[in-house]
Structure 1
Amino acid sequence: MKIRAASLVELHAFLSVCTTGTMRQAAEQLCVTQAAVSRAVGRLERRVGCTLFERSAQGVTPNAAARALQARIEPSLLELERAFGEFAESPTQRSTLRLSVVPTLGTRWLMPRLGAFQAAHPGIRVELRQFHHNEDFLRDDVDVWIYLKRPTTRWPRGISARYLIGREITPVCTPAIAARLKRPGDLLNEALLHHTNFPDNWRLWLSTAKVDTTRLRLGDGFDLANNLIVAATSGMGVAVLQPCLIEHELASGELVLPFELSVSTGRGYFFCTRKAADGKKAVEVFRRWIGSMVQAGGRART
């Protein structure tokens, strides 16, 4: 039998342009490039043998032929999506959840807890994908990103982002160094280890602690938080870090918090998914579980 129907890629692009009114918004909704949407719509127009959209500087407008085609195919396409969604989330099918996580948070905070998640949800298989700096969220091999938001970060329209953990920073050091620290100003006499991507963390914390920072001199710098933690544990100096990254060291006593003050950086780690994936069973189960881990506030087993 000769297949006359267009591909699902073409039909999804067509319906998304119909509902959003622009190629750009359709691309954001589908998590693909604007060029990919334009090409898919062009292939569909060639297949049906007529123009489906009136194009202008303000966007695209479906014509009568497009509206007629939309009315015929949209119910069937939605039913097809529901059928595959229900099948993939059937108890007899094991779901796969693909994660991309900031490496240090993944290693130090998430990984010690993943065993508990798998024990509670044996029907969901977790796969870790490579983390990309400067992520554009266009990858189709990731379901959930746990990503560091900076003050200048703007989430794409097609991405749903919820704050998870890690906004607060506080000084940490070995017990031997902590014994010398009677008040926050004493930190200026110590080697102040820092993350090279966030050199202003120390100034932010000290200023909040009412310490004059005119004598502030940073010590050794590290471009990975994990290396910064190892340096602090070895006694090289005092680091300013998120407590969630040093749960093991705090529990063992290798590192201590010399002062109670925590300061918000305005950054933090966010749980990010495509808006189109909201409601997907595996994603929602993982989101609720990881939220409960944050709210519990307890440390993972070591």
Structure 2
Amino acid sequence: MRIRSPSMSELHAFVTAARLGSFTRAADTLCVTQGAISRAIARLEAHFGQPLVYRNAHRLTLTEAGRSYLEGIAEPLAALETASAAMFGEDRRHHLTLSAVPTLASVWLVPRLPDFHRKHPDIRLDFVPYRRDEDFSGAKPDAALLTGEASTWPNWQADYVIGREMVPICHPARAHARQSANLWKTPADLMGEPLLFHTTAPRNWQHWLQAAGVPDAAPMLARGFDQVSILLEAVKADMGIAVLQRCLVRDALQAGQVVAPFDLPVTLNRGYFLCAPREKRDHPALRIFREWLLELAKSDIAALVRT
């Protein structure tokens, strides 16, 4: 039988460049030169006798044939890579690499990991650097805890974990002064304060106010921060009010470092999800970790509602 499929190096070069939209980024991911990526894709195009990519100075795009070919080979190629990696040792079945949003990892996940290790001492869990634009290409984690909405990752297995439960927080002195002057009667009154926000989710204030009974809310935002931990510190410094995930500020609320001026049961669509490529769904260590994580989150969410 005549073999019509090209070499694996050409396939990896094409799929990686197509996903990243760049020969340079593909070369960095696969640890080769940009020229090697370009030559591999040129050989692939010569093999099929038609162009697969449009080359320009800004971003690589696919031809119609390129898009069709990518759809046909991307998942089988990823499955082949997973199976090949597993052949290097049965230990992979008990080894899980994970990336996570740093604040969620440090504030919520890591303090709970001793429970996981007690229940599953045979599983090795390693963390790799978090990438906000994680696409599971190249040297990748098995799974990632990312923030967004369920529709953000239509091609992955994405399980909601926690983080939809939101609450506004402020410095205790600010709350005492406003409430003593009878200035905070309804959630709409918060729009007169400096509203602090996370730069990746600037609409959280509008969504929270609408859910809290202010349908036409058009809040004027004050200062943005790109990390929840810094945003929380800004609230503690009385720079303004923020609306944040309840799971991330529960300790600060219980310690009295911040207070919730309107403690309402508001949930938004955005939250933290455990995401993984579909070909990883049968990874034994990931399956065990997912079950533990979702059960833990379920218990924590119930506790948040009670408090």
**TM-score computed with the length of structure 2 as normaliser:** 0.65
Identify the residue that residue 290 of structure 1 maps to in structure 2: 293
SS in 1 for 2:168: strand
Name the amino acid aligned to 2:272. Y
| Separation in 2, partners of 1:240, 1:160 | 28
Q: Does 1:246 align with 2:245?
A: no
Q: Does 1:116 align with 2:119?
A: no
| Separation in 2, partners of 1:216, 1:143 | 39
Q: CA deviation at 1:257?
A: 2.2
Question: Structure 2 residue aligned with 1:201, among 200, 204, 214?
Answer: 204
1:76-116 deviations in Å (ceiling 9; x for gaps): x9xx87984993367xxxx3211110111111111111122
SS in 2 for 1:211: coil
Q: Does 1:237 align with 2:240?
A: yes
Superposition map of 1:79-90 within 5 A: 84=87, 87-88=90-91
Is this contact kept in 1: 2:163–2:245, CA < 8 A?
Answer: yes
The sequence identity of aligned pairs, in percent, is 35
Paired residues, what number? 250
Identify the residue that residue 258 of structure 2 maps to in structure 1: 255
Q: CA deviation at 1:227?
A: 0.7
| Separation in 2, partners of 1:82, 1:237 | 50
Flag the structure with larger Rg: 1
Residues 229 and 83 from structure 1, CA distance in 2 versus in 1: closer, same or farther, beyond 3 angstroms?
Answer: closer
| Separation in 2, partners of 1:82, 1:136 | 18
Question: Structure 2 residue aligned with 1:268, among 243, 266, 271?
Answer: 271
SS in 2 for 1:246: helix
1:7-65 deviations in Å (ceiling 9; x for gaps): xx968999xxxxxxxx97xx99xxx99x99xx69x89xxxxxxx9x99997757xxxxx
Name the amino acid aligned to 2:148. K
SS in 2 for 1:247: helix
Identify the residue that residue 71 of structure 1 maps to in structure 2: none
Q: What's the C-alpha RMSD, in Å, of the aligned pairs?
A: 4.1
| Separation in 2, partners of 1:82, 1:194 | 42
Residues 85 and 252 from structure 1, CA distance in 2 versus in 1: closer, same or farther, beyond 3 angstroms?
Answer: farther
Q: CA deviation at 1:143?
A: 0.9
| Separation in 2, partners of 1:55, 1:112 | 54
| Separation in 1, partners of 2:85, 2:107 | 38
Q: CA deviation at 1:164?
A: 1.4
Identify the residue that residue 127 of structure 1 maps to in structure 2: 126
Identify the residue that residue 19 of structure 1 maps to in structure 2: none
* Larger mean Cα displacement after TM superposition, 139-148 or 173-182: 173-182
Q: Which runs of 5+ in 2 are unaligned?
A: 20-28, 31-35, 52-63, 70-79
Q: Which runs of 5+ in 1 are unaligned?
A: 1-5, 15-22, 44-50, 61-76
Question: Structure 1 residue aligned with 2:161, among 161, 164, 168?
Answer: 164
SS in 2 for 1:286: helix
| Separation in 1, partners of 2:215, 2:247 | 28
SS in 1 for 2:224: strand
Identify the residue that residue 190 of structure 2 maps to in structure 1: 187
Q: CA deviation at 1:190?
A: 2.5
Q: CA deviation at 1:146?
A: 0.6
Q: CA deviation at 1:200?
A: 2.2
| Separation in 1, partners of 2:226, 2:160 | 23
| Separation in 1, partners of 2:215, 2:276 | 42
Residues 210 and 144 from structure 1, CA distance in 2 versus in 1: closer, same or farther, beyond 3 angstroms?
Answer: same
Higher relative helix content: 2
* Larger mean Cα displacement after TM superposition, 159-168 or 210-219: 210-219
Q: Does 1:173 align with 2:175?
A: no
Identify the residue that residue 141 of structure 1 maps to in structure 2: 140
**TM-score computed with the length of structure 1 as normaliser:** 0.66
